[in-house]
Amino acid sequence: MDKIIIHGARRLKGRVKVSGSKNAALPILVASLLTDEECRLENVPELADIDTTIGFLKYIGKKIARKGHSVHIAPDGHLKPTAPYELVRKMRASILVTGPLLARLGYVRVSLPGGCAIGARPIDIHLDAFDKLGAKIQIKGGYVETRSRKLVGNRIHFRYPSVGATENTMLAAVLARGRTIIENAALEPEIADLADALNGMGADISGAGTDTVTIDGVEKLGGFNHRVIPDRIETATFMIAAAITRGSIVLENTRPAHVGAVCEKLMKAGISVKSQGTKIICKWVKNLKPVSIRTGVYPGFPTDVQAQWMALMALTQGRSSIGEDVFENRFMHVSELQRLGADLKVRGNRVAVKGVESMTGAPIMVSDLRAGAALVLAGLAAKGRTEISRIYHLDRGYEHLEKKFKKLGANIKRIHC
Ligand code: UD1
């Protein structure tokens, strides 16, 4: 298993190009199941989760060619209506194949999902939406079986604005008969990007990116030729890297509007953040002030940046509080940050942070994707040697992470053990 070794306490400086968004690319790749025509997706990051999705689509019935950041998808025989446990357990987003396969085949059997170990993560909102579209649902032997003759549009009110459920419902309703209205839909930019790709295929979706999405079903969809939006979580991670290492980083290929909440908190902490078109210039200028956060749905502070923010606050003089309101068990990085010397106390879904002057490198272990990013950031700031194991979690969602940090001046390397 690979490890990352960091010799920290170096200021990072330079330019970094942000990759395409993992969370936008995944549902758009899955959207190719809605058509027999060829599809092309650009700006796709090279990541383990993308490899898993491509393997999955090949299993279901697609021929896929990948060249750099470009993915070409063509049909390869009949679609299979099954998503087995061996494929789904690797990645929770695999549940997204339910929508398109149900719409096209009228039957789908998908293993209950796995993915990051950050809480129960049920799928009741997805299943309730399929029920409202007229599907019959059964859970048997760890599998969800969904069937329906022809889906029929309906008004669906989500009890919570789930990102995955909004995507899954859109992916089903585009081929349903009549109009579907999703109320209390998720607002995340990845939803609007999926809608753009689907509309490019001939779908009729309006309101994506607001809390009410209207989908008028169509008979048939064509292929897509789409470019994935930049990854806002990677963007935020590099901005925090500039702050935590007292450095100065120019981020290229970003959408500054997608990281508004993080920029606002960074500026409150005393970081200089300037945007120029698709660039963000992030610079440490003086000792940071503690700034508390609570995660929330977009445009609130992203749960996927909570761990990284905690690493930053751990080194900021004074007290702050980190609240996690999206997932119920997302503090697994706390014990590892404590190993580096952070002063953190978990109280329910809040962590009380008392900033320390410095942290010191130690062997630490990654528990999930974004926790891994936080540990790398902490290692970059800590004095001495940090050895990070179980970095396969990081490879799920950060493209060439150590190479990008190395280019910014970090003393970081990957070793194969
Ligand atoms: C997506 C992102 C993930 C991010 C999350 C929240 C992808 C591939 N992943 O995950 O990186 O952290 O949005 O921004 O895009 N819930 C239910 N029932 C459901 C569905 C969700 O109770 O049917 C709960 C979850 O347990 C969780 C909350 O809703 O507490 C948010 O989940 P959701 O928005 O669905 O996140 P994902 O789509 O899984």
177 and 255 fall within a common domain: no
39 and 181 fall within a common domain: yes
Confidence check: pLDDT of 114 > 70: no
327 lines ligand 1 (CB under 6 A): yes
Task: Return the residue whose CA atom lies nearest to atom 28 of ligand 1.
Answer: 326
370 lines ligand 1 (CB under 6 A): no
Task: Return the residue whose CA atom lies nearest to atom 5 of ligand 1.
Answer: 163
CA distance 66 to 50: 11
Confidence check: pLDDT of 24 > 60: yes
169 lines ligand 1 (CB under 6 A): no
Q: How many angstroms does the Cα of residue 163 sit away from the middle of ligand 1? A: 6
* SS3 category, 161: coil
What's the pLDDT at 68? 95
232 lines ligand 1 (CB under 6 A): no
- Residue ending a domain, choose from 186, 202, 227: 227
Confidence check: pLDDT of 254 > 70: yes
> Are residues 360 and 332 in contact, defined by beta-carbon separation less than 8 angstroms?
no
Burial of 137 (0-12, 13-18, 19+ CB in 10 A): middle
* SS3 category, 317: coil
**Among residues of the chain, what percentage have pLDDT more than 90?**
92
Task: Return the residue whose CA atom lies nearest to atom 35 of ligand 1.
Answer: 162
233 lines ligand 1 (CB under 6 A): no
13 and 69 fall within a common domain: no
Q: Which of 123, 210, 220 is nearest to 164 (CA)?
A: 123
Confidence check: pLDDT of 117 > 60: no
75 and 223 fall within a common domain: yes
Strands 212-216, 179-183: parallel, antiparallel or unpaired by DSSP? antiparallel
128 and 220 fall within a common domain: yes
Ligand 1: residue of 90, 158, 162, 308 to mutate (most ligand atoms within 8 A of CB) is 162
245 and 212 fall within a common domain: no
Q: Which of 36, 114, 113 is nearest to 78 (CA)?
A: 36
pLDDT tens digits, one per residue of 123-159: 999 999 999 999 999 988 888 999 998 999 999 999 9
Distance (Å) of CA 230 to CA 116, 289, 382: 22, 29, 29
Instruction: Check the CA dihedral 382-384-388-394 and report its sign.
Output: positive
What's the pLDDT at 116? 44
- Residue ending a domain, choose from 227, 252, 278: 227
Question: What range does the domain containing 172 cover?
Answer: 22-227
212-216: strand order across its sheet:
155-157, 179-183, 212-216, 204-206
* SS3 category, 11: coil
Query: Cα 78–80–86 angle (5° rounding)?
Result: 145
173 and 265 fall within a common domain: no
14 lines ligand 1 (CB under 6 A): no
pLDDT tens digits, one per residue of 186-218: 999 999 999 999 999 999 999 999 999 999 999
404 and 307 fall within a common domain: yes
8 and 103 fall within a common domain: no
372 and 400 fall within a common domain: yes
370 and 256 fall within a common domain: yes
122 lines ligand 1 (CB under 6 A): yes
Tell me what the pLDDT averaged over the chain comes to.
95
- Residue ending a domain, choose from 177, 203, 227: 227
Q: Looking at the DSSP assignment, which residues form a beta bridge with residue 137?
A: 146
> What residue type is 75 in one-letter code?
P
Range in 78-87, 214-223, 279-288 with the lowest mean pLDDT: 78-87
What's the pLDDT at 120? 55
Known catalytic residues are: 116
Give a three-class secondary structure readout of 177-205.
ECEEEEECCCCCHHHHHHHHHHHHCCCEE
What is the count of structural domains for the chain?
Answer: 2
326 lines ligand 1 (CB under 6 A): yes
What's the pLDDT at 112? 84
Which ligand 1 atom is nearest residue 23's CA?
A: 15
Neighbouring CB atoms inside 10 A of 354's CB total 16
Q: How far apart are the first and last CA of the chain?
A: 5
> Which run of H or of E encompasses 387?
strand 385-389
Which ligand 1 atom is nearest residue 126's CA?
A: 23
What's the pLDDT at 141? 85
Give backbone dihedrals phi and psi of 211, rounded to 5 degrees, phi first.
-85, 0
> Are residues 152 and 180 in contact, defined by beta-carbon separation less than 8 angstroms?
no
Q: How many angstroms does the Cα of residue 37 sit away from the middle of ligand 1? A: 30
What's the pLDDT at 165? 97
Which ligand 1 atom is nearest residue 297's CA?
A: 14
Confidence check: pLDDT of 113 > 80: no
pTM over cut 0.85: yes
pLDDT tens digits, one per residue of 47-66: 999 999 999 999 999 999 99
Question: Can you say how many angstroms the Cα of residue 191 is from the centroid of all Cα atoms in its chain?
Answer: 12
Which ligand 1 atom is nearest residue 167's CA?
A: 38
Q: Which of 339, 341, 402 is nearest to 365 (CA)?
A: 339
Whether omega for the bond prior to residue 299 falls within 30 degrees of 0, making it cis, is: yes
What's the pLDDT at 17? 98
CATH code at position 390 = 3.65.10.10
Q: How many angstroms does the Cα of residue 206 sit away from the middle of ligand 1? A: 22
160 lines ligand 1 (CB under 6 A): yes
Task: Return the residue whose CA atom lies nearest to atom 9 of ligand 1.
Answer: 23
What's the pLDDT at 118? 42
pLDDT tens digits, one per residue of 314-329: 999 999 999 999 998 8
Task: Return the residue whose CA atom lies nearest to atom 3 of ligand 1.
Answer: 304
258 and 330 fall within a common domain: yes
